Copies of this chain bind each other. A is one copy, B any other.
Amino acid sequence: MRPGEQLTVVLHQTRSTDNLGAVARIMANFGYSRLILSEPVLKSIEGAERLAVKSDFVLRGMEVTSDLGEALKDCVYAVGTTSRTQLKGRTVLTPEEAMQRLAEESVRGRVALVFGGEQRGMSDEDLARCTDVLAIPTSAVQPSMNLAQSSAVLLYLCHRQGLTPTAAVEEAPGAKLGTLGALAKRMRDVMLRAEFLNPQAPQHVLNELEQTLMRARLTQREAELWLTAFKHLERAVTRGAST
């Protein structure tokens, strides 16, 4: 396994080409190369190469997606970063705990580390796309870290954790977040039709359900099974509604 192959760095709603360049450099510093820009605010990456010293290969290989779900679709695990230490209904991991999980999950397939935009970070909705959430503990004096700095801290810890084990993948392939995302969408449709979810605000309850499936560490086969089940349910519910 090539070093770093299992870790994907996702920059969501990034605004600054300086930050993009700095993140590319820090990825190269620690042997990572797979970078995805999700829903970028920046219009062009021109200027990023100034800070991406000896790491232009990271920028050249970078993918761009229109949303976070798309960016994570091939991953079996994603941890989102936040500066908020309290999040309703979710346990906020320490960086060390998160790195431990990233390393463990990386035997099942691709794993991702997701950073939010410079101005507002990741929304609850963005974080709901991630299996776990982490916060870097900071001082009350200035709790908000610069994007490039937090990537330096976390990628250093990934590197030290020895993410990218050389051991053969033994576990059954983990469910891709793309499949889980499709499942969540299907669940939403079915449950709205079944009038289980409140049509004014369906997402909160849906997120809770989705989280339990993420926690269950589904295999890809199991996730597909769920998805097929909900396809059948949807057909049944639609049939029921039309009769």
Contact = CB atoms under 8 A, between A and B. Distances in A.
Interface in A104-143: 136-139, 141-143
Given A149-B148, A149-B149, A152-B153, A141 B28 contact: yes
Q: How many copies does the complex hold?
A: 2
A137 B149 contact: no
Contact of A29 (B30, B51, B53, B149): B149
Contacts of A36: none
Contacts of A149: 22, 25-26, 29, 148-149, 152
A146 interface: yes
Q: 5 closest Cβ contacts across the A-B interface?
A: A28-B142, A31-B139, A149-B152, A152-B152, A54-B142
Given A3-B139, A55-B142, 16 more contacts: A22-B148, A25-B142, A25-B145, A26-B145, A28-B139, A28-B141, A29-B142, A29-B143, A30-B139, A31-B139, A31-B141, A51-B146, A54-B141, A145-B152, A150-B152, A156-B156
